[in-house]
Structure 1
Amino acid sequence: MRVPRIFTRQPLSAGAELTLESSPSQHLARVLRMVEGDALRLFDGSGAEYCASIVSADKRQVTVAVLESEPGLAESPLRIHLGIGISRGERMDWVVQKATELGVAEISPLYTGRTAVRLRGEREERKRQHWEQVIVSACEQCGRSIIPDVHEPMALSQWLQHAAGERRFVLHHRATAAPAGAQLPVSISLLVGPEGGLDEAEIGAAETAGFESLALGPRVLRTETAPLAALAILQARWGDMGSLE
């Protein structure tokens, strides 16, 4: 059986013994049916990961012995902050999950003029926590040992004021440019709209804030496809994904 990777919010150190949180405990004991002596790998978001062994397990909690540490998977040299218009239902979850697999460093859910989803108060925080768990699960699966940040939902105008990427791109199908430039950037802010895209005023505001308009090709891509295609292209050009050239 493949050795599972499990995230814990508890700081890890070789030689420690700890009881995992409820969710990973139940996953290991009830879903994977792991027992005393079984091996797993743990990471706490610090960049390292640890070999571990189950000391005891029941349906409610699993206690593990933390063994030696190893360097975690290296992060992409290209730090990408994705600003994404909030989409309905599972579309947003899909983007958050796949963006994590593609190496994004930060995700900011955005309210735009065409955003159909409006979250308020506790519902907004619950949704952010849900996206955070989607990110954790994606990291467990893809091998990342540092958890990308998912910020509180905010207005597009607010995000534009704080987007600090060395290169900044706004993605829309009316643009004509592809990412260019010989200089290797270390950080990128990427703006993608919700269903229906960004309106003309929002594109203009992004361009005024220093964003370059970016197009991926002749086809109009759905809101859950466009950011992933853009991330893959940016990682292949300036990050850590292999090029076919």
Structure 2
Amino acid sequence: MISRFHFPQPLPHEGEIELPEAVAHHAARVLRLADGDPLVLFDGLGGEVEARLLLRGRAAFAELCRYREPRRESPLRLVLVQALATGDKMDWIVQKAVELGVAGVQPIQAERSVLRLAGERAEKRRAHWQQVAVSACEQSGRNRVPEVGMPMPLANWLAAGQAQALCYVLAPDGGEAAFGTGPRPAAGVQLMIGPEGGWTAHELAACRAAGCIAVGLGPRVLRTETAGLAAIAVLQARWGDF
């Protein structure tokens, strides 16, 4: 499998470019690619360029060979609204959600979220999760990088009128409607997943008041790092490209 790398600026379709230090290090030092080896570069704007690695001393360049725009994005625009989870669970959730085809991830501070983020710490975590999304695109073949939003309290997200597309909120104690039925929604779907301790009754009431539809995923209670991925797979099978 040819190695893929995200290029942080818009890519030309031909010519020769110098690779950023981080990309050059990953290609030559981590993956041990040799001079002349093939690689693929993408800038997140939808296309990718087949290229050839050129090593010149400590610098690395790419000879751009062929531009193409393969279709790898789901026809379903799906945004995961994920309550903050502890440890490396958020890394896992972001990585796998991007692999499954989400268009964006919005971290949410819920009442029962153990992880608390604000200020500079929140920005550092957001930047880290954004890089996780980039790496997931490199691995999965996606050429558009989903945006990871700044963590915000649930109340702020609802107050800003974010729940404008079809919005599902997972509630393990019972759903109010069928999940993923009817024609594909033109405006996409927002999928809300609670924290380890679940949504509070107050939060579920606020989500319903904002127009979100409570749904369940069967009789078993799933962990926060499982529920969102399972629901994404269901929606991709019904409205996406699975």
So what's the TM-score if we normalise by structure 2?
Answer: 0.94
Give the superposed CA RMSD: 1.4
Equivalent residue letter for 2:154: L
Question: How many residue pairs end up in the alignment?
Answer: 239
Aligned to 2:171: 172
CA spacing shift, 1:57–1:165, aligned 2, 3 Å = farther
* SS across alignment from 1:89: coil
C-alpha displacement of 1:36 = 1.7
Aligned to 1:208: 209
Aligned to 1:182: 182
C-alpha displacement of 1:32 = 1.4
CA distance in 2, matches of 1:10, 1:201: 44
Structure 2 residue ranges without an equivalent (≥5): none
C-alpha displacement of 1:35 = 2.1
Aligned to 2:61: 63
**Matching residue within 138, 143, 152 for 1:145:** 143
Sequence identity (%): 45
Listed as ranges, the matches of 1:1-245 within 5 Å are 2-58=1-57, 61-160=59-158, 161-176=160-175, 177-186=177-186, 187-241=188-242
Structure 1 residues 182-191 or 14-23, which shifts more?
A: 14-23
Structure 1 residue ranges without an equivalent (≥5): none
CA distance in 2, matches of 1:141, 1:85: 25
CA distance in 2, matches of 1:216, 1:57: 54
Structure 1 residues 161-170 or 148-157, which shifts more?
A: 161-170
Equivalent residue letter for 1:65: E
CA distance in 2, matches of 1:116, 1:86: 8
CA spacing shift, 1:129–1:57, aligned 2, 3 Å = farther
C-alpha displacement of 1:180 = 4.5
Cα pair 1:6 1:41 within 8 Å, conserved: yes
So what's the TM-score if we normalise by structure 1?
Answer: 0.93
List per-residue Cα deviations over 1:121-157 (Å, max 9, x = no partner).
2211111111011101100111100000101111111
CA distance in 1, matches of 2:140, 2:60: 23
Cα pair 2:163 2:210 within 8 Å, conserved: no
C-alpha displacement of 1:183 = 2.6
CA spacing shift, 1:61–1:214, aligned 2, 3 Å = farther
* SS across alignment from 1:98: helix
List per-residue Cα deviations over 1:215-239 (Å, max 9, x = no partner).
0100000010000000000111111
CA distance in 2, matches of 1:57, 1:179: 55
